[in-house]
Structure 1
Amino acid sequence: MAHHHVYLVAGFFGFSNLGGITYFHHVREALQTAFERAGHSVEVHSIPTLPTGSIRRRAAVLAEVIARSAGERGPIHLVGHSTGGLDTRLLVTPGVSLPAGEGIDVEVLARRVRSVTTVASPHLGTPMASFFNNFFGENILRAISLGTIYTLRFGRLPLRALIELAGIVTRLDRLVGLDNTILDQFYHELFKDFDAERRDEISAFLDEIRVDRSVVGQLTPGAIDLFNASTGDRRSVRYGSVVTRAPGFSPKTTLRLGVDAYAHASHVLFRALQIITARSGDYPPLKPDQRQVLLEAYGSLPGRRESDGVVPTLSQVWGEVIHATVADHLDVCGHFNDAHHTPPHVDWFISGSAFTRDRFDRLWDDVAAFQLASLR
């Protein structure tokens, strides 16, 4: 029985492990369990991607990690969340030119890839990239990145910091001369809870976002056309996608939050991101099998303005739709609310998706089944 290698590629402002936080929370364990249950051995690797570097540079890093760790034999499976899905597609494109390390033959590696699974990836771009693609957007991107890291590490932002962040995002169009002292206060509020070593690590991560934001411009709906025009599918690779959609505004969701001020502030911030991500353009028609999976999952086809809070739902479809679910952008990576799990699962922002461990396990079981089926 062949020994499999699965590579998990983090997405937009992604990290493999930072400040004690794992990007793919319990995904490694879920895939290992599914492979072993089917009688296959597998090694699951997490890729230390460049948070906002160009897709080409990120794909080169992926190639370098595979070259160091995959040996010379055995099937390779790529799993990319968000922008990571574009990295995986670029890597296996026939004839691609990547700035990988000396002596690395990308084509030899790509020929061993049996499946590419993209999870909540912006194959047709995301309007959120347009929002971040300016000076003020850069500052907000760094603030949201830090807020995400803090939340996944400690469980909840300080309420004052969350309200500040929600206020900045919802009023950005009116804050033409955004006062940096507002962001300084936000950073100070959060950094003080990390120890010195993790502060340095996180500061270096945020500095990378400041120095190189190439991917932000590449993910706009207009710019992604160039990526798709130059990126072709490899005939020997099986392509599949996991599609996510968060609930829209609902009075029921608001009522369920009760009198929890933190929950309401977190939900306001998520709704602001969801509104930013809404798009007015049209999408190409779905294939019959893609359409059927979405209808079964959602009861009706998602509208063009629906999203998981970061990526429009219809932008996520590529190849076979392996699994479609009600979830926000980070639920599917294991960052959903489950206080009873050990260690506890922590939600990103409160989206109202009500994502559960059972749905998480079903999703990744479907991904593993898709990967194993690529050998037939």
Structure 2
Amino acid sequence: MKEDLFILALMVITVPLTGELKIHPFHDTFRISFATPIFLFFLLWMKKLPLFIPGLVVGFFVVAFRVALDFLIKGSFQLGPDFIFHFSAFFYYAAYSIIFCLVKANRLHQRPLLLGSIFVLIDIAASIIELFFRYYFLGNKFSVSTLGLIVIIAIIRSFFVLSFFNIIKLNEVRMTVKQHQEQNEHMLLLISSLYAESIQIKKSLKDAEDITRNCYDMYQDLQNPNYSLNPKDLAPKLLSIAGQVHEIKKDNQRLQAGLSKMISAENSTDYMDINKIGNIIIQTNEKYARSLGKDIKFILDINDYFPHLHIYTILSLINNLTSNSVESINDTGIIKISIHKKEELIEFEISDNGVGIPEKKRNLIFKPGYTTKYDVNGKPSTGMGLSYVKELINNLKGSITLENDCIENKTAFIIQLPIDNLIEKGW
């Protein structure tokens, strides 16, 4: 609507002015000017404003402008004669726009020949209406030859405007097609690049899984009181782990170099608004749930104001627990992430209505190596996720607790962390 009002304002200014670029083909007060092509051109661009309104408004301003111009030229003004001399022009623009609106001409842009013919008929009809009022009030007569000239002029200016309008629309379509083509090419390059990066990610994930398993095996050996530490046996294992870590490092360097080219030129930051971080977690886990064929509703509840928090710490903690919730739900369920402030602490609660955690296993879930997840080949997971989460929370001087509500079939992990340990220093 704002665009239409802007177009109407342009019509009010330009149509009266271009109406003065005129000829008098019948040697009387009836004029042919550039105002009609301008008026029609603007009507074609209107989308929401009722099309009879421009005719009424423009007709009024055309009459007012011509009366005012006569006053400036003559130095005097007589309401009756001067107004009657010009007011028939109002009926031309009013009739033109009313007929234009009734035939719904702006719905026929895809049929230019039909549209051009309609414009010719509208122009002829509006001109005849104006001539009738001039004949009735001013005594101007018109004949068959007059009508023939009106038809010729209507054909010329109607198809001229339509041609000019279609040229502009055609250029718009070409620009749009070009933009879509460039976007498609960019997307193809992006997808091909992401495909290559995904292979690198899979390799890094496998290396990381092997490292985690090897480290856990060493941890188990060292926990065994009967294990005798032999440096000759330990050195090759550590060297192998170091080599795998180095390989992951090189893979990540290649990934970072490739992905940095695809990311926009915005300055990255380590701190972000908690609402944006929460939305990233929701979007990521929605995709993860869909990849597992699960229909899960995610709820993000943030009621308090927080300064910008460290992105990677929050993602490491909450994303880990949220993905566990996704895995704990069989087919459909609800996961809620609540973030609140408690004095100098920030509290995260990640709850779900999945299968839950049995009471007898609640003391085991944070121990390294404990897992309930197995892959398609029956190979257990490393069981390091929750132990890593708890270790990170301890380093941040926070706490994590588990709550099971059998009545509501709800399992919730509650994390409390000092806000000062998550915000940028000097905030």
Q: TM above 0.5, one fold?
A: no
For the aligned pair, the TM-score class normalised by the smaller chain equals under 0.3
TM-score w.r.t. the length of structure 1 is 0.23
Higher relative contact order (CA 8 A, sep 6+): 1
Larger Rg: 2
TM-score w.r.t. the length of structure 2 is 0.21
